[in-house]
Amino acid sequence: MNIFKSLLETPENWLLGIVFGAVGYLTKTIVDNYLNKSKKRVELQELYWKEKIESAKKASEYYLYQIGFFSLTADKYEMIEEDRKGAEELVESTQELISSYQKRLIEFPHFEHYHINLFYDFNESKTKEIIKENYESIQNIHSVNFIETDDNAEFKRKFDVLKTNFGILKKNNRELISIYQNYLKIIRDDIKTLPYE
């Protein structure tokens, strides 16, 4: 009660009270702003890492399907290229697995695996080059047309075209496997360095 009386008696005390009140309010506002910015920065960082992990999970799933698909197709091309005895049944069963992977990749539940490109700068030029070369090899394979009137030399030439192109497909698919495994390694290594607290 004494403080209020002294404030009312002298205007200097009013002025002093107003100044200290304003300084206190200003200090509180500055501290609150700093704390809010800090909190927002932490929330944004947390959101960034959550999004990065989610993208990494989806991309990893997609890359693993791709690796499985390319591995099986490379094995199939190797069996065809080497013309193994009894390979027909193995090629047919492999074809069923390849078809299963193709279906999974075509019906992949989301395209969010592309979000990984927001966080990583994967050089896709080599992948595109390999896929283009694979397309050309597949066209070459489909252009080979065996006919009954082919002599042995023509048959051997056409067979060599097939064998060469199956070899290219096998090599390219092994290279694609290596590329996707490298992507997975980069993602895994980065996720291991998360700023856990």
Would residue 104 count as lying in a domain?
yes
Would residue 65 count as lying in a domain?
yes
Would residue 93 count as lying in a domain?
yes
Calculate mean pLDDT across residues 58-86.
76
pLDDT of residue 113: 64
Look at the block and give the residue holding tokens 């390219």.
172
Would residue 20 count as lying in a domain?
no
Q: What does the alpha-carbon distance between residue 89 and residue 66 come to, in Å, rounded to a whole number?
A: 24
Three state DSSP letters for the chain: CHHHHHHHHCHHHHHHHHHHHHHHHHHHHHHHHHHHHHHHHHHHHHHHHHHHHHHHHHHHHHHHHHHHHHHHHHHHHHHHHHCCCCHHHHHHHHHHHHHHHHHHHHCCCCCHHHHHHHCCCCCCHHHHHHHHHHHHHHHHHHHCCCCCCCCHHHHHHHHHHHHHHHHHHHHHHHHHHHHHHHHHHHHHHHHHCCCCC
Identify the CA nearest to 45 among candidates 166, 195, 187: 195
Would residue 97 count as lying in a domain?
yes
Grade residue 153 by pLDDT with cuts at 50, 70 and 90: confident
Contact 81, 195 (CB under 8 A): no
pTM for this prediction? 0.65
- Residues 21-60 pLDDT 10s: 888 888 888 988 888 888 888 888 888 888 888 888 888 8
Residue 72: give the domain boundaries.
58-192
Q: What does the alpha-carbon distance between residue 111 and residue 168 come to, in Å, rounded to a whole number?
A: 29
Domain count of the fold of the chain: 1
Would residue 130 count as lying in a domain?
yes
pLDDT of residue 134: 87
Would residue 187 count as lying in a domain?
yes
Contact 58, 112 (CB under 8 A): yes
Q: Compute the mean pLDDT over every residue in the chain, rounded to the nearest whole number.
A: 79
Would residue 17 count as lying in a domain?
no
pLDDT of residue 4: 62
